[in-house]
Amino acid sequence: MADQEATSTGLEADPELAALGWTAPVGRPLVLPGRGTTFIREVTGPPGAPVLLLLHGLSASSGLNWYACFEALGEHFRVVAVDHRGHGRGIRAPARFRLSDCADDAVAVADQLGIERFIPVGYSMGGPISQLIWHRHAARVEALVMCATSRNFRGNVRERAQFMALGMMLAGRLAPVPNREAGRILRLIEGMLTPDLGHPGLGRWIAHELSLNDSRRVIEAAEALGRYSSHDWIDQIDVPTSVVVTTVDQLVPVRRQVKLARAIPSAVIFPVEGDHLVCARDPGVFVPVLLDACQLAARRAARLGVRSRRGHRGSARSA
């Protein structure tokens, strides 16, 4: 943490977060021709460093999901984090939210920044988006890092209800609780959304970031996540992959996270003791594990010569 306006990694600090003790990059809008205007936060990192493309979770934003991670990652990587459509300051479009559009948006961001190949780093909903980037744009992907996520979120009725309730609550449209199980889910989600982060100013900043979301698109995103599955092709992923497993996660069960890792031949598991919001609730635990996961993925990609051997694959079905 620091309060400097700039660092040796090329990070121009966000003054609002700097006042709260965190060094995160100030964001800027980025026009994606034919798609709309999104919002990114970027750390230039060391010259020639591998590129991490950070993909946030449901109802989060590039700042909200990754605010505690930029400084550590930026010491070793060029880091670009994007707000997904309908989230934060991301693209506002009339079309219904689709995870595949988010994957294509992310590649369009790389195009605009002159980035040929990169490592998608997906958290929760960002996990399916990173998977779809590989499936739809394989030639652009050097490695994958996925955190607190799964190959599908269909699960049982209870698990589907959790994601739907999360989307509705985050959008401010949760209906009256109809039964005991729904009430239990509601209390779980309320606890997740109001963690003790140790600084009232940080809590206010988080509330403001959440208020920027398009509530309709967040609900659609929760629905899209509930329908998503990469079961038919996840075992074809052939790039080095790190899977960060949140070991006390009550939203994405550990068994689903482990199944994701086991389905990918190259995957290495990085356990972190934390719940689904460990990235914000306990960054001192999460960030070192994330950094290790990204560094291993990048080293393995360099050893395998991914840049010289990858070929393009066709497009996947929409999600």
Spans in the chain with pLDDT lower than 50:
1-5, 173-179, 181-187, 189-190, 192-195, 306-319
- Dist CA 90 CA 248 (whole Å): 30
Look at residue 82 and tell me if it is in a domain. Answer: yes
CATH number of the domain within which 236 lies: 3.40.50.1820
- Phi, psi dihedrals of residue 23, rounded to the nearest 5°: -100, 105
Position 162 scores a pLDDT of 59
- Dist CA 217 CA 136 (whole Å): 22
| Domain containing residue 133 | 15-153+229-307
- pLDDT 10s digits, 262-318: 999 999 999 999 999 999 889 999 999 999 999 999 999 999 884 444 444 433 333
- Phi, psi dihedrals of residue 173, rounded to the nearest 5°: -130, 30
Look at residue 44 and tell me if it is in a domain. Answer: yes
Look at residue 194 and tell me if it is in a domain. Answer: no
* CB burial of residue 183 (10 Å; 0-12, 13-18, 19+): exposed
Question: Is-contact 79 112, C-beta < 8 A?
Answer: no
Question: Is-contact 133 103, C-beta < 8 A?
Answer: yes
- Dist CA 128 CA 111 (whole Å): 21
Position 245 scores a pLDDT of 98
Look at residue 319 and tell me if it is in a domain. Answer: no
Handedness of CA 301, 306, 311, 312 (dihedral sign): positive
Look at residue 19 and tell me if it is in a domain. Answer: yes
